[in-house]
Chains A and B, each alone.
Chain A
Amino acid sequence: MNRADLERLLDRLVDATVLERVVISFASLLFAIVVGGVIVLLAGIPATCRDPAFVFAGREFCYDPIEMYLTLFEGAGAFGSLTNLGLTLQETSVLLFTGLSVAVAFRAGLFNIGTQGQMVLGALGSALTIVWVAPSLPENVVGTVVIVPLAVVVATVIGGLYGTLPGLMKAYADAHEVITTIMLNFVAMGIAFYLVRNHVGDTTTDSVQTTPIPDFARLPPTIDGTRFSILVLLFGLAAAIALYLLYERTVVGYDLRTSGLAPEAADYGGVNAKRNIVASMTLSGALGGIAGAMYVLMVHYRWETDMPPLGFDGIAVSILAGNNPLGVIPASLLFGALKGGSLQIDFALGVPPELVEVLRGLIILFVAMPEFFRMIGSYAGYGTDGGETDG
């Protein structure tokens, strides 16, 4: 393939209609499933197991890809198991916020890799707020109504401030946000670990964690036997719609977008681009912080070190969604389903968890790559109208 072909391909990709892009995504998903299945099948040859899935041509195959995919879909709740569905939706709800966090920054042309760190600190802030404030509240609905919003607000503020930091560095010191946010992730994890381990944690256990939050501070589960709360999902959906409207229908949203993408043009147009860059990063960080609060209130009921990489998954969710707040909804659903499904594989099959990770990675890679190249192509000016990376 020569350069001209490549350029034609990028042009074509950038010009793809929404319907075409949806079809491409589904085709990629299917392709990823086939490739993943072959890998799982081949990985089963050198592996040793007591009862192989099947024997073909004298070779023992340890893992059965079809059974594995069935388990994956079953674990994702596709076959009507309410508990599994709950797990998928629980993961989806938190991913909505991390995905939106990354998408909001992207819309302003900023690549926020720091959602994970913002989420970790937001989660810690909300967990500690609850642990410290809860004893002075009544253990009933009144307590819930006071403490849940309080925890969310604290997490929003902490996450927001932690997003402001790289925003300021970007706007006023020209420090690239990719570098600073990556660094700040480590700083966040280190600070949180140190504080919990030495000062504010639960010292009665060997785990580095806070005391569990009391029952009345936990969001009520919607599906029995799971921790999924529909409140979080609704909140997330509302946030996605609100952000979509903000960016598509308001002047503020337009200013935020232009400030990141074309600061000079924005300045020329009378918009304070630097302030808007900081605002975008703050908004992004605040959403990361909210994700942390949701994790504490709905999923883990405490802060514990080694939080799952929901913030990093948010990057993939956002890319898959084409950085469109509404696209984040189906993208987080796919990721949530993959999480629920892989947990079920860990539980039910002898397939090593690492292999399930490979599978997850493949699906992400295949599905996200067309969008990724579309974004790059659009950024580099391919397609009929060039320009920005809109949804």
Chain B
Amino acid sequence: MTVMAWDRRTFIAGTGAGLVTLLAGCVGDDGGGDDGGGDDDGGMDDGEGGDSDGDDTGGDDTGGNGGMDDMNVGMVYATGGLGDQSFNDMAHEGIQQAQEEYGLEFQNAEPDAPADVGELQRNFARSSDPDFDLICCIGFVQETDLVENAQEFSDQNWMIVDAVAQTEEGPLGNVASYVYREHEGSFQVGVLAGMLTGMDYDHGGGSTNPDQQMVGFVGGKEIPLIERFEAGYQAGVQHVSEDIEFTSAYAGDWNDPATGQEIATGMYDDGADVVYHAAGGTGAGVFEAAQSEGRYAIGVDSDQSLSASEFSDVIVASMIKRVDTAVYGSAGNVYNDEFQGGQINDLGLAEDGVGAVIGQDFEGELPSEITDELDSTRQAIIDGEISVPDNLDDL
């Protein structure tokens, strides 16, 4: 499996044109919280310039203004592991960007099972050669262990994605937490799927079945986080029309493409035109099914028409979740000595933490009524005119 070969800048250049409204301001915004405190992003807004905004007195090209020398970051990934072309790879992408930008070093650790997560965290925290300036904990699975380890290693800086590290006394002061309102981005792709299934559309490696209006959802594990994706998606579909059939299933695993393919093939056979997955590595099977059935799929976490480019002819869109920016941003904050310990970053559409991005092969190929509608629902969600449910009970 090849490592994704795109960086933030080419990504923006490639998708920017048609998506200005969807991704506006995404570049270099670390989404420093929804409290409008955008002043914590240090040297980040100048993606191109790096630290050249500092006084260029020395010839030092990594030092910048007060930047840290020999910075080391430890990365503990979620159990799906690297190569999922999705969540974990997105985090990996973020730390690679930070490596380029700040000249830092990082070390990856991939747990085999949830039980190993705590030990890997402790390994990084204990290490003195090198001494890790930041440990990134990717995924909710790390929460409980992190809460314990962050208290035991209280001088260590940590960051966690998809959970808030807190005790009864409040957020831990040495952990920056990043959570996402995935339901908002999922609503957007739900609108897209709902509109597409109602149309007679034929492009790329698939086409819709005009006789039947049906969309599907494939989740990884049946947990509240993933149900948030499903709830938002279903709400988006219903926003288009209450008559659209909706089917959903869970694979029970983050890294089981075979089951993903089995489930998705069943859905396409039943008449689904579009299937959205929130299942990490399992999603590759959904794309596989879409290709062989000649239907469409929606990716998750990263722009999967790029990260899983062999399926770009059926990946009509992806619900991106900017885990990379969270990792990149927190590393930058540590680098610039502005680490935001204890801060809870709650990122949604308004902060560009999540959003719908059209697939590479479908850029400019979708009917303008869809893209226009996406623009308007996005704005309506940001303005609070549409309230997106974050669990299935509120649908």
Contact surface of A with B, Cβ cutoff 8 Å: 48, 83, 87, 197, 202, 205-209, 212, 225, 299-302, 304-308, 343, 346-348, 350, 352-353, 357
Within 8 A of A (CB), among B73-113: 79, 81, 107-113
Q: Which residues of A contact B111 (CB under 8 A)?
A: 346
Q: Are B110 and A346 within 8 A (Cβ)?
A: yes
Distance between A232 CB and nearest chain B CB, rounded to angstroms: 16
Listed A/B pairs (11) with beta-carbon separation below 8 Å: A48-B2, A48-B3, A206-B225, A207-B140, A305-B114, A307-B115, A308-B113, A343-B116, A346-B109, A347-B123, A353-B110
CB-CB contacts below 8 Å: B105-141 with A? 107-116, 118-120, 122-124, 126, 140-141
**B279 interface contact, C-beta 8 A:** no
B310 at the A interface (CB under 8 A): no
- Near A by CB (< 8 A), chain B positions 257-279 give none
| Nearest 8 A/B pairs, CB to CB | A206-B140, A206-B225, A308-B115, A347-B123, A206-B223, A308-B113, A347-B109, A304-B114
CB pair B115 A212 closer than 8 Å = no
Q: Do B221 and A212 have beta carbons less than 8 Å apart?
A: no
Task: Report A-chain residues with C-beta under 8 Å of the C-beta of B223.
Answer: 197, 206-208
Min CB distance, A63 to chain B, in Å? Answer: 15
| Cβ A304 vs Cβ B115 within 8 A | yes
What is the bound-complex CA distance between A267 and B111, given in angstroms? 51
Given A197-B222, A197-B223, A353-B81, check contact A347 B113 (CB 8 Å): no
Q: Determine the distance from Cα of A83 to Cα of B122 in the docked complex, in whole angstroms.
A: 11
Give Cα distance in the complex from A307 to B79, angstroms: 12
If A343-B120, A348-B107, A353-B81 are given as contacts, then 14 extra A-B residue pairs at C-beta distance below 8 Å, sorted by A number, are A48-B3, A207-B144, A208-B223, A305-B114, A306-B113, A306-B114, A307-B113, A308-B113, A308-B116, A343-B119, A346-B112, A346-B116, A352-B110, A357-B112
Pair B110/A300 contact, Cβ less than 8 Å: no
Considering only CB atoms, which chain A residue lies closest to B152 in the complex? Answer: A225
Would you call B46 an interface residue if the criterion is a C-beta within 8 Å of the partner chain's C-beta atoms?
Answer: no
B148-A212 in contact (CB<8A): yes
* Shortest distance from the beta carbon of A124 to any chain B beta carbon, whole Å: 14
Tally A-B pairs: CB < 8 A: 72
When C-beta atoms are compared, the residue in chain A nearest to B148 turns out to be A212
Q: With the chains together, A299 CA to B118 CA distance in Å?
A: 10
Docked pose: A202 CA to B147 CA in angstroms: 14
> Are A346 and B126 in contact, with the CB atoms below 8 A?
no
How far does the alpha carbon of A294 sit from the alpha carbon of B63 in the complex, in Å? 50
Chain A residues with Cβ below 8 Å from B112 are: 308, 346, 353, 357
**B230 lies within 8 A of chain A by Cβ:** no
Contact A207–B114 (Cβ < 8 Å)? yes
Chain A residues, CB < 8 A from B54: none
Q: How far is the CA of A212 from the CA of B221 in the complex (A)?
A: 21
**Of B114, B119, B141, B222, which contacts A87 at CB under 8 A?**
B119
B364 interfacial contact with A, CB 8 Å: no
Residues of B within 8 A of A212 (CB): 144, 148
**How many Å lie between the Cα of A225 and that of B124 in the bound state?**
12
Interchain CA distance A357-B110 in the complex, whole Å: 13
Interface centre among A207, A304, A348 (most CB of B within 10 A): A207
On chain A, the residues within 8 Å of B122 by CB distance are: 225
**Which residues of the partner chain B approach A352 to less than 8 Å between Cβ atoms?**
110
**By the criterion CB–CB under 8 Å, are B162 and A306 in contact?**
no
- B300: min CB distance to chain A, Å: 16
Q: Which A-chain residue is minimally distant from B225 (CB atoms)?
A: A206
Min C-beta distance of A350 to chain B, whole Å: 8
Q: Which residues of B contact A205 (CB under 8 A)?
A: 140, 143-144, 163
Q: Closest B-chain residue to A356, C-beta based?
A: B112
Specify which chain A residues have a CB less than 8 angstroms from the CB of B141 in the assembled complex.
207
**Any chain A CB within 8 A of the CB of B38?**
no
